[in-house]
Structure 1
Amino acid sequence: METAGHFDLQTLWFVLIAVLWMGFFLLDGFDFGVGMLYPFVGRDDPERHALLATILPVWDSYEVWVIVAGGATFAAFPGWYASMFSGFYLVFFGILVALIVRGVAIEYRNKHDDLSWRRRWDVALPISSLAIPFLLGVVFAAITRGVPMDPRGDVTGGQGVLFTGYSVLAGFTLVAAFALHGTLFLAFRTEGGLEERVRRFSLAIYPVAAVLLIAFTVWTAVQASSSAPYTVPMYVLLGLSLPAAAASGPLIWLKRPLAAFAGTSAAVVLLVAALFARLYPRVMVSSSAGSPSLTIYSTASNHYSLVAMTIIAGVFVPVVLVYQIWALWVFRARLSREDFARPPTPLHMITKGRRPGGSSSGGAAAEGGE
């Protein structure tokens, strides 16, 4: 029989892993949106350079969340990690390749002045930025809805079992949500003609994202009513996510991009929280008769490992949070085409936004000059 302390640590680590995924989807979500849309929003190279510069200084720090989420899953729930990564290895390999291509595209696009060089990265970055949320949506929907598993907890049936109507809808919903999230981020990080164009893009994307989110939310609620162990928390979180997302549309129209961005941020966090609430205390749902689902109890590490990990997390998680807040504050300047019509000088990088009547921070243009 499990001790109360052991039970508490298992639940604690399930919640911490959920929080890590929420942080990743929230922060890297608007990065994915920027990557998907910047070649279409920007009409020429200086505009595209300015749009990409809004995420250049910080994008890689956001990927720490997914790396830590994977590492925490391996350390806290090795049985969950083994079943998920062995059963879905081709999909996770595709996500890994897309993450690599995306990172290289962000960092290498502006390293060369040749237009053909930049155009190649302008194709690679949107494709990889779209593929990652789509595949992650498929995986999350599949493990919450259920996949065929044998009595040992191994996924059976090949990679194709992941791609059902529900999981594909989840993938498209995440893509649309991140595209809207990204345009709203750009709306308060750009100025001039870019800001107005980004706003028009967000108004065009909003209805598509809303329809997909409503369809996915309703399907999730109906499906989970007969299978989720604890339905009330899931219904509450789903119920809160819809008005948070819905509020972003009127706020875009009223030219309140920061408030609209807060709405999509809340919607993303609440939706991910709802999926984890649907799972608990399971970590992977089995759709095979006679094969039990994997739970936090059956897949967890031993008590001493969880205690040691809890101490380490208590020290370093606040440090990561403080750093992320600091980075967002430092690189908060609003950018425009004029900032990149000519390569910024070192003095411009330092003083951007500090002169009277300028923007509020000097950091964001610095990285954009790469």
Structure 2
Amino acid sequence: MDWLSILWFILIAVLWTGYLILEGFDLGVGALIPLVAKNDEERSQTVKTIGPHWDGNEVWLLTAGGATFAAFPEWYATMFSGMYLALFLVLVLLILRIVAIEWRKMIDTVQWRKTCDYTHTVVGFGVPVLMGVAFANLVQGMHIEVVDPITNEPLAGPVTPELLVTGVHNITGGFFSLLTPFTILGGLVVLAICLSQGAQFLALKTTGPVFERAEKLSATFSLAATVLTAVWALWAVLAYAETVWAWLPLVVAALALIASAVFSQKAFNNNMVSFLCSSAGIAGAVAFIFTAMAPNVMKSYLDPSFSLTIAQASSTHSTLVVMTIVAVIFVPVVLAYTAWSYWVFRARVTLEDIPENMGLLPKQVRLGANFLQG
């Protein structure tokens, strides 16, 4: 196996880690809007906390998908064709979130902003659940068959190593084959972690009643995230892990999430430490998922020989060399820009920061006034 294939398998795990940490609190904030904000001004304050960051955080998702396409084209093709409906739903929800955030300020009525905010909330619940189900399927394995490239028929019984290498891997179980008790629990785990991250972020970025409610919710959701993750992870490592090395990131994730829950409680109350520990827990959880499924990128529960391995899915050595050079040059730039943006917008958002008038009045819209001229 090419060592660059292993390197890019690890780098894709790192990209997903960055996405889930940064987008995790974005989605969590959206989901928590009805719980932390009780009026229009507080909802505006809540949304404003992620305003400078949410679209930049989505770059990590695009990069993870692009890196998978370039480094492991068969992994990308198998996953995006077999999980098409689930990934399409994720895409629709992310588009709705763009509309909810960007168009929120276009019309100056409370009802319009409230509609946008509750759309944002639906997305905040839906995307983590779908993402969690997808990741849990990578650990559990899927209804994957290998199709003969000549006859286009699924292979059955003993097959030659040559056919396993040249055959096409297909997820043939359909959408509902992705939904099992284990994968649904995985979706709830990611949702709980995002709610915890979102509450901790709001406790760091707001003042007043929103801050007080976020602190209380942080204590609750961090405990829920720790318990759900413990149950799911033990189930995963005992039933589905391919190697004993999966225990190592699992222990890291467990300790980090426990620490996050402890520092979220009123007796210890340190929002920054709690947020950092939660982020470390996410990193450990992603490392566990990738370790648990290695040396495969997609596991088949029909027949272990039908699993798609890192070596089978990998691009050529020359492609991986070019990708590595590009990553060495541009990844530090992205990291520096991300750190700079969080430093620039590090101040807390107060109710005084919310403008009195946002967007056009409905009467102006009906008369044909546009958003550029007012």
**TM-score, scaled to structure 2:** 0.87
1:135 corresponds to 2:136: no
Which amino acid is the alignment partner of residue 262 of structure 1? L
Specify the SS of the correspondent of 1:261.
Answer: helix
Contact 1:106 1:125 in 2 (8 A): yes
Alpha-carbon displacement from aligned partner over 1:235-272 (angstroms, at most 9, x marks no partner): 01111111211112221222210111011111111101
- Correspondence for 2:224: 208
Q: Does 330-339 or 279-288 show the bigger shift? A: 330-339
Cα distance in 2, alignment partners of residues 317 and 141 from structure 1: 28
Q: How does 1:251-270 map to 2 (within 5 A)?
A: 251-252=263-264, 253=266, 254-270=268-284
**Partners of 2:237 and 2:292 within 8 A in 1:** no
Aligned counterpart in structure 2 of residue 333 of structure 1, from 342, 347, 352: 347
Contact residue 284 and residue 295 of structure 1 kept, 8 A:
yes
Instruction: Quote the residue 2:77 is aligned against.
Output: 82
8 Å Cα contact 1:191/1:336 also seen in 2: yes
**Alpha-carbon separation, structure 2, partners of 1:311 and 1:206:** 39
1:231 aligns with 2:247: no
Q: 1:187 aligns with which of 188, 198, 203?
A: 203
CA–CA distance in 1 between the matches of 2:109 and 2:304? Answer: 60
State the AA in 2 paired with 1:168: I
- Name 1:246's counterpart in structure 2: 258
Q: 1:29 to 1:47 in 2, by over 3 A?
A: same
Q: Which runs of 5+ in 1 are unaligned?
A: 345-370
Kept after mapping to 2: 8 A contact 1:141/1:170: yes
Deviations 1:68-106 (A, max 9, x none): 111111111111011100100000000000110011111
User: What secondary structure does 2:50 align onto?
Assistant: coil
Residue 176 of structure 1 is aligned with which of 192, 196, 201?
192
Q: Which deviations, in whole Å up to 9, do the C-alpha atoms of 1:290-336 show, x marking residues without a partner?
A: 64210110011111111111111111111110011001101111112
State how far apart, in whole Å, the 2-side matches of 1:80 and 1:243 are: 32
Alignment-derived partner of residue 351 in structure 1: none
Task: Report the AA paired with residue 262 of structure 2.
Answer: P
The residue type paired with residue 264 of structure 1 is S
- CA contact under 8 A between 1:47 and 1:336: conserved in structure 2? no
Larger CA deviation: 163-172 vs 110-119:
110-119
- Structure 2 distance, partners of 1:286, 1:204, is 37
Q: What is the aligned partner in structure 1 of residue 313 from structure 2? A: 299
On the 8 A contact 1:149/1:291 being kept in 2, the answer is: no
Letter in 2 for 1:163: L
Question: Runs in 1 of length 4+ with deviation above 3 angstroms?
Answer: 341-344
> Percent identity, aligned pairs only?
41
Q: 1:221 aligns with which of 234, 237, 262?
A: 237
Residues in 1 aligned to 2:304 and 2:204: alpha-carbon distance in whole angstroms: 53
CA distance in 1, matches of 2:138, 2:285: 15
Match of 2:27 in 1: 32
Shift of 1:206: 2.8
Q: Distance in 2 between matches of 1:206 and 1:28?
A: 17
TM-score norm. by structure 1 comes to 0.88
CA-atom RMSD in angstroms: 1.5
CA contact (8 A) 1:135 1:171 kept: yes
Greater mean alpha carbon deviation, residues 37-46 or residues 247-256: 247-256
Structure 2 distance, partners of 1:183, 1:142, is 27
**What does 1:124-163 correspond to in 2, within 5 Å?**
124-151=119-146, 152-163=168-179
| Cα distance in structure 2, aligned partners of 1:19 and 1:287 | 26
Number of paired residues? 335
Letter of the aligned partner of 2:97 in structure 1? R
Gaps of 5+ in 2: 147-167, 359-374
What's the CA shift for 1:46? 1.1
In the TM superposition, residue 341 of structure 1 has moved relative to its aligned partner by 6.6
Give the conservation status (yes or no) of the 8 Å contact 1:46–1:341: no
